[in-house]
Amino acid sequence: MGYSSYPRLVGLLTKESELAGWYARCFLLVVSPKIDTMSYASLPGETQHESAEETAQLVYSSAGNVNKQRSVVMRHIFEAAQRLDASAQKPVHQAATEQAAAGSPAPTAEGEQETIEIISADNLKKGIDSSQEGVFERVRDSRGVPVSFAQLGELHHEEAPSEFAYEKIWTHCQIVARIAVSLAANYRERARKLAQAGPLPQPWNGALPDLEMCAVGGLVHDIGVQHVFLRHGADAGRLFDRHRYIFHGLEGYLILLENRYGLAIAQFARNHTGVGITRSEVVAQGLPLPPDDYMPKTIEQEIVMYADKFHTKSDPMQFVSLKAARASAARFGLSNATRFDNLVARYGVPDLESLSREYGMSIR
């Protein structure tokens, strides 16, 4: 296991442009601890250098600190990935999100805090409601191939730096997927009932979430975390590199694009941090990210982002109560707290007690 997507990503971006290939190599050097095994012999044109250290110095000289330097490199590789994705076949998604039916209002009642029953782990592994066990038939990669539970687990395993890291992040992602699917199923049922009472304001233009897409999104949203462990996640203490952790969403986005999952799936990794990050927040807070909006683009992305707030990857892992989740959002300002409150009113609250008993994890 290891950082297997990076060498492949270099080759992919080099096909798009030599400059993108060079920035990919810089990215490897700056962000990944595994680059000492890479070959820099094929750096294009005047940027060719004899050693990784010389390449690093070129990057370092263009930025004032570690995070800024990573941001510069990430911006270029991110833009190259966007261009690649724009020219690729988009995933087939025959989901209910494409069925924004008039007269199917979504629940938005203020203050509702319904406790929602969680789907079983077996149901998730079987592909939710697919006829082919283990396959999410309505969610397809950029080649039009249905995505499977086992396939996503294998991708986590390939990207993980250790068995410890794999087990922790894959377990977290399965928990988030189960919560997300349960919230989505409850939302659909509430929308159906509310539709009988007459039209109401409709978030996401009345779109109803597809359960399989929520499952896949939950299973992949944190795959980029596999690349930000300290000491490969093998030791006790602080698990993650605090300088690189903020990039885990974009790292996951790049992993998924490079593995041909397409934009609709890759955006689950890109757009799940906190309760979303706006371009203005990136700039105002001086975050070391390419200035852009990191907000959900679909109802499924929003649900996965929200579900993620109820479980933490700390050691030991824990579930997060509604009160604690709101407090965490409020730390970043009133607008974040308001966004979180709107999500609670829209989707309800998952049954954490049953999950806590099932996994033997406490609720904080």
pLDDT at 29 over 50: no
pLDDT more than 70, % of the chain: 64
Region 58-69: what's the mean pLDDT? 43
Single pTM value for the model: 0.73
pLDDT at 194 over 80: no
Q: What is the pLDDT of residues 71-106, one digit of tens each?
A: 555 555 555 555 555 544 443 333 333 333 333 334
pLDDT at 68 over 90: no
CB 192 within 8 A of CB 109: no
- Of the chain, the end-to-end C-alpha distance in Å amounts to 33
User: How much helix, strand and coil, in percent to the nearest 5, is found in the chain?
Assistant: 55, 5, 35
pLDDT at site 136: 93
pLDDT at 282 over 70: yes
Angle at 295 between CA 210 and CA 171, to 5 degrees: 60
Domains of the chain (ranges plus CATH)?
5-87 (no CATH), 96-359 (1.10.3210)
Q: Which of 195, 105, 79, 212 is nearest to 149 (CA)?
A: 212
Q: What is the pLDDT of residues 299-322, one digit of tens each?
A: 999 999 999 999 999 888 999 999
What are the structure tokens assigned to 141, written together?
Answer: 């990669």
- The pLDDT mean for the chain works out to 74
Region 43-58: what's the mean pLDDT? 41
Positive/negative CA dihedral, 254, 258, 261, 262: positive
